[in-house]
Amino acid sequence: MAAAFASIWRILRKEKPDVIVSTGAEIAIPAFYLAKILGIRTIFIEAWTRVYKPTGTGRIVYPVAHVFLVQWKELLPSYGPKARYEGAVL
């Protein structure tokens, strides 16, 4: 995980993205926390396969994600008020 933090830190400092979008991969964890430090906006889209129970990655990045989307209305109660349902991403 330390190697991932170092690599992502270098990439974010060099590329200076306006926003980072993740569809649930575990690599979002270090990327979102480093983005928070650097003032980069983040959008997390919970995995399509999660209907009733959140992913571990979703639970960990929820506090730092600027926009947090779920793809099933049934998943909304598993998260706080920041979570939104806007439909499925296909």
Residue 4: phi and psi, rounded to 5, are: -65, -45
pLDDT of 31: 96
For position 14, which CATH number holds? 3.40.50.2000
pLDDT tens string for the chain (90 positions)?
788 889 999 999 999 999 999 998 899 999 999 999 999 999 999 988 888 899 999 999 999 999 999 999 999 999 999 999 998 886
Contact 79, 62 (CB under 8 A): yes
90 in a domain, yes or no? no
**CB-based burial label for 22 (10 Å; 0-12, 13-18, 19+):** buried
pLDDT of 90: 66
60 in a domain, yes or no? yes
pLDDT of 56: 95
When divided into structural domains, the chain yields a total of 1
Q: Domain limits at 70?
A: 2-85
Tell me the C-alpha distance between 2 and 68, whole Å. Answer: 25
CA 82 from centroid of its chain's CA atoms: 12
Non-local CB neighbours of 10 within 8 Å, separated by 6+ positions: none
